């Protein structure tokens, strides 16, 4: 089978990745701001007797000047010529802008197909689009597409095959620019583009005020813009918690009080050895179950985060925040990676590739780890729900402290190692685009999948290792005397001053370096091992209990959605026996230690994936230096918190 | 005149770029080209928001300094921030800064915390 390699090239945010997802069935990230794709990604499909491999590239405005890391990737790939056909994706309503790049691509003298994307938007804006004319002028195939829904996208495949077979290289008779001076060349190119665009796009009617204009008058308002920002963030945060926390409680109870004993009893009936059944109960259900119960939280968090990313509100936040951030030497665009950091720090660090200045990049990279990611949210959520009357407020406080420390770090670095004048800021604000629910859910499920895969692989292995280290050397009587207990106790003196001297806590800080959720796994395994199952197990009765729990979780969601203020766990609730392992943990830690622990987890860069990303995108010194700095800072802040509250 | 001197609501046409920096080439590739028309929609902080019938741009003032424009229509909409042609106090942040550099007004500003200071920063609030 023959292979055709197709490079997707175009301006940023024109829908290249959306088209690829429809063509090759890939699940690559999309978002409504320039600079979502920052690395080369591929996807393949089969058509006729060909395997067609698509290479998605970061967006680029011009090949003349390559300023940022992501543009460099595209420019280098185009120079390498490791492709057979160029698929130039064009945002039809902004045809004149996009054709500037097209005329540069023409000079590569490679077979080319043009996708006139966002036809739907062009029509709404009152344009009539003459694709035949463009095809005649350039003598190549031109296809109208809608990347949002996939309309017309499949017609690209026969066009690509034909272009490849006939080696249709674009011809522009008027285009012999190489001989001109660079200055004249640009002038002439701009003229040419203007003419081309006028031939193809005709304005049939002028639309009334667009929804984007209307929303921007509110969201970008110098005063009310911030009011809306605050409301949007508050509502997002509240919804995340209101919807997910009752469900998390329910799943935790369901796993610990129903599934786990049920499986144990079945194993006993099957005659499994005590060793096996203990391992399954403690490592799998105690450790993994704890992490899995947070699936609703991850789902809801990513649902809202993805909505922000795909709607186009993110670059507006960049504009609003620039008013403040430029005072500490940061321009607004850097807000985008920081916000992405609330999902996961690693892609956020990659997203800094769009920044032009190296010292800006290093600065943002060292701010990102303070943005509390979803893995930390899981840990915070667990402790906050277990220990505090008002979990929402304590989590909000942790987020704010994280943001404050990232700003503190930025100022510190700007005044010392990364001293530099403020760089300029130019960005396109895309129109608001509301993603189809299908695409939204697909992206959220993607994040959820990676959470579950992580839990099923790395966290599962950690959980097994912890369990073994708790049960070795063989025949160990007390958990404190096991390997894990000894390691924990060795580390205790270091953490004693911040109230975390308990070996069960110190041991959980070690696996946390591989994945933060492992803190919960660790505690889950240990506590489950300590816990004695006393009650008799009657599956029917327990199942009925679980049914009631689910109903009460659902009614709790509805009631808290209806109240505008954050949910408050009443005091009776606290005295009530908590289901699952939460009750056990409450007995383990006094309140000041919990706070110190949460701050420590927030600040210390305890995630190996983030360190690796910092190393690769920044430098070795940055990664290691930051590790040391964040440990010191975490220890110091936790110490203050601990002393303050005890 | 320079784009940075344009006011909120002004319609301008880009005439020329000053200087030969790389970033100017990128700006032009992004769609801010000689001959294209924009409305200055907002200016707050160090940024301008430019809009035309199908695109919107954020541009910092140091870049706007390098773009020569001709104003087509001055009367436009009223501006959210105090904006006088050629006046130093051409946006809300500067306005605040100038207020505060004056030692007396430093004290006054402290007294007028709350809505008072917001009215100073963004006078539309006191507008009936
Ligand atoms: N209305 C409409 N929206 C579209 C269309 N194609 C893509 N979009 C939206 O445009 C935005 C950008 O899409 P992406 O596929 O991420 O664009 P990209 O070219 O890969 O962007 P970068 O990776 O940043 O260069 C997303 O919000 C899409 O949902 C279309 O044909 N019509
Ligand atoms: Mg992309």
pLDDT, tens digit, for every residue of A472-519?
A: 777 776 777 788 788 888 888 888 888 887 777 787 777 777 777 777
pLDDT over threshold 60, residue B28: yes
Q: What are the chain A neighbours of B58 within 8 Å (beta carbons)?
A: 315, 318-319, 322, 332, 425-429
pLDDT over threshold 90, residue A540: no
The alpha carbon of A140 and the centre of ligand 2 are apart by a number of angstroms equal to 24
Nearest Cα of chain A lies from the Cα of B46 at a distance, in angstroms, of 7
In this structure, is residue B17 part of a structural domain?
A: yes
A297-328 pLDDT, tens digit per residue, is 888 888 988 888 899 899 999 888 888 888 88
pTM of the shown model: 0.82
Which value does ipTM take for this structure?
0.75
The alpha carbon of A403 and the centre of ligand 1 are apart by a number of angstroms equal to 30
Q: What is the pLDDT of residue A573?
A: 43
In this structure, is residue B114 part of a structural domain?
A: yes
**Residue reference for tokens 């003032």:** B61
Boundaries of domain holding B62: 1-123
- Write out the E strands in A327-479: 426-428
Q: What is the pLDDT of residue A16?
A: 94
- For ligand 2, a single-atom ion, the residues with CB < 5 A are A 17, 36-37
Contact at CB, B31 and A125, closer than 8 angstroms: no
Indicate the number of domains in chain B: 1
Instruction: Compute the distance between CA of residue A8 and CA of residue A30 in angstroms, rounded to an integer.
Output: 14
> Cis peptide before A473, with omega less than 30 degrees from 0?
yes
Mean pLDDT of chain A: 84
What percentage of chain A exceeds 90 in pLDDT?
23
Contact at CB, B27 and A426, closer than 8 angstroms: yes
For residues A207-229, average pLDDT: 84
For ligand 1, atom 3: residue with the closest CA: A148
Contact at CB, A186 and B25, closer than 8 angstroms: yes
In this structure, is residue B128 part of a structural domain?
A: no
Which CATH code fits A2-203? Answer: 3.40.50.300
A154-174 pLDDT, tens digit per residue, is 999 999 999 999 998 988 765
Contact at CB, B29 and A64, closer than 8 angstroms: yes
Which tokens belong to A621? Answer: 């010194």
A565-611 pLDDT, tens digit per residue, is 665 443 334 444 455 566 667 777 788 888 898 999 899 876 888 88
Nearest Cα of chain B lies from the Cα of A178 at a distance, in angstroms, of 17
Instruction: Compute the distance between CA of residue B110 and CA of residue A638 in angstroms, rounded to an integer.
Output: 34
User: Where do the domains of chain A lie?
Assistant: 2-203, 226-418+438-645
| Out of B46, B60, B118, closest to residue A223 by CB | B118
Which ligand is nearest to the Cα of residue A70, counting in written order?
1
* CA neighbor of B74 nearest in space, from B14, B4, B8: B8
B99 touching A, CB under 8 A?
no
Q: What are the chain A neighbours of B81 within 8 Å (beta carbons)?
A: 222
In this structure, is residue B40 part of a structural domain?
A: yes
Burial (CB count within 10 angstroms: exposed 0-12, middle 13-18, buried 19+), residue A328: middle
Query: What residues are paired with A47 via a beta bridge?
Result: A50
The alpha carbon of A614 and the centre of ligand 2 are apart by a number of angstroms equal to 22
Instruction: Compute the distance between CA of residue A642 and CA of residue B9 in angstroms, rounded to an integer.
Output: 54
Give A51's pLDDT tier (boundaries 50, 70, 90). Answer: very high
CATH number for the domain including B20? 2.30.30.90
Hey, how many other C-beta atoms are within 10 angstroms of the C-beta on B46?
24
Q: What is the pLDDT of residue A583?
A: 67
* CA neighbor of A20 nearest in space, from A49, A48, A1, A44: A44
Query: Residue B38 belongs to what H/E stretch?
Result: strand B37-44
For residues A354-377, average pLDDT: 88
What percentage of chain B exceeds 90 in pLDDT?
0
The alpha carbon of A338 and the centre of ligand 2 are apart by a number of angstroms equal to 19
User: For B120, which residue in chain A has the nearest alpha carbon?
Assistant: A223
CB of A121 within 6 A of ligand 1: the answer is yes
First to last CA, chain A: 71
Q: What are the chain A neighbours of B23 within 8 Å (beta carbons)?
A: 65, 67, 356, 424, 426
């Amino acid at each position: 089978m023959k292979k055709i390699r197709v490079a997707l090239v175009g301006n940023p945010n024109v829908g290249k990745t959306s088209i690829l997802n429809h063509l090759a069935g890939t699940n690559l990230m999309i978002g409504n701001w320039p600079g979502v794709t920052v690395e080369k990604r591929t996807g393949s499909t089969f058509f006729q007797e060909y395997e067609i491999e698509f290479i998605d590239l970061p967006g680029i405005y011009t090949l003349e000047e390559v300023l940022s890391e992501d543009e460099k990737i595209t420019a280098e790939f185009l120079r390498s010529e490791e492709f057979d056909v160029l698929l130039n994706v064009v945002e039809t309503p902004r045809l004149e802008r996009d054709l500037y790049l097209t005329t540069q691509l023409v000079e590569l003298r490679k077979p080319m197909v043009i996708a006139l994307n966002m036809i739907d938007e062009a029509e709404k804006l009152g344009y009539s689009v003459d694709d035949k004319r463009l095809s005649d002028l350039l003598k190549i195939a031109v296809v109208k597409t809608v990347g949002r829904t996939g309309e017309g996208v499949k017609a690209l495949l026969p066009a690509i095959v034909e272009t490849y077979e006939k080696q249709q290289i674009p011809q522009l008779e008027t285009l012999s620019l190489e001989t001109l001076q660079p200055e004249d060349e640009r002038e002439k190119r701009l003229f040419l583009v203007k003419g081309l665009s006028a031939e193809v796009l005709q304005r049939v009617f002028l639309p009334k005020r667009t929804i984007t204009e209307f929303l921007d008058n509110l969201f970008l308002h110098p005063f009310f813009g911030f009011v809306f920002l605050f409301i949007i963030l508050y509502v997002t945060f509240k919804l995340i918690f209101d919807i997910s926390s009752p469900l998390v409680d329910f799943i935790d109870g369901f796993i610990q009080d129903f599934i786990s004993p049920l499986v144990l009893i079945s194993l006993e009936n099957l005659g499994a050895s005590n060793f096996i059944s203990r391992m399954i109960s403690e490592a799998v259900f105690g450790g993994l179950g704890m992490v899995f119960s947070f699936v609703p939280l991850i789902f809801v968090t990513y649902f809202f985060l993805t909505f922000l990313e795909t709607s186009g509100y993110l670059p507006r936040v960049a504009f609003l925040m620039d008013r403040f951030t430029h005072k500490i030497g940061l321009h607004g665009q850097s807000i985008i990676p920081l916000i992405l950091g609330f999902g996961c720090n690693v892609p956020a660090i990659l997203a800094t590739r769009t920044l032009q200045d190296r010292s800006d990049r290093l600065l943002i990279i060292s701010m990102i780890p303070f943005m509390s990611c979803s893995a930390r949210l899981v840990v915070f959520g667990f402790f906050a729900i277990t220990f505090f009357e008002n979990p929402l407020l304590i989590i909000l406080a942790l987020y704010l402290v994280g943001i404050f420390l990232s700003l503190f770090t930025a100022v510190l670095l700007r005044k010392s190692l990364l001293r530099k004048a403020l760089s300029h800021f130019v960005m396109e604000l895309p129109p608001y685009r509301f993603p189809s629910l299908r695409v939204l859910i697909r992206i959220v499920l993607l994040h959820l999948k990676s959470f579950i895969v992580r839990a099923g692989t790395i966290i599962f292995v950690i959980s097994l290792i912890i369990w073994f280290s708790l049960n070795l050397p063989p025949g160990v009587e007390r958990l404190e005397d096991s390997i894990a207990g000894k390691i924990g106790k060795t580390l205790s003196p270091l953490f004693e001053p911040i109230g975390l001297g308990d070996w069960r806590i110190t041991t959980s800080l070690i696996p946390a370096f591989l994945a933060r959720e492992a803190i919960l796994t660790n505690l889950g395994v240990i506590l489950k091992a300590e816990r004695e199952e006393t009650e008799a197990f009657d599956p029917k009765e327990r199942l009925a209990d679980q049914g009631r729990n689910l109903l009460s979780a659902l009614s709790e969601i509805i009631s808290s959605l209806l109240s505008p203020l954050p949910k408050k766990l009443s005091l009776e609730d606290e005295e009530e026996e908590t289901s699952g392992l939460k009750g056990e943990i409450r007995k383990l830690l006094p309140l000041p230690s919990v706070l110190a622990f949460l701050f420590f987890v927030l600040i210390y860069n305890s995630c190996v994936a983030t360190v690796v990303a910092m190393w690769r995108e920044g430098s070795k010194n940055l990664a290691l230096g930051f590790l040391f700095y964040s440990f010191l800072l975490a220890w110091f802040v936790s110490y203050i918190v601990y002393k303050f509250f005890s | 005149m320079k784009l940075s001197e344009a006011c909120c609501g002004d319609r301008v046409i880009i005439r020329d770029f000053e200087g030969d920096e790389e970033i100017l080439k990128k700006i032009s590739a992004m769609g801010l080209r000689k001959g294209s028309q924009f409305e200055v929609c907002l200016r707050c902080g160090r940024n301008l928001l430019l809009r035309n019938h199908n695109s919107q741009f954020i541009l910092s003032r140091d870049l706007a300094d390098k773009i020569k424009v001709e104003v087509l229509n001055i009367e436009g909409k009223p501006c959210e921030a105090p904006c006088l042609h050629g006046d130093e106090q051409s946006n809300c942040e500067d306005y605040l800064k100038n207020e505060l550099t004056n030692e007396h007004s430093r004290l006054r500003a402290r007294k007028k915390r709350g809505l008072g200071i917001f009215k100073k920063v963004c006078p539309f609030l006191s507008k009936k």
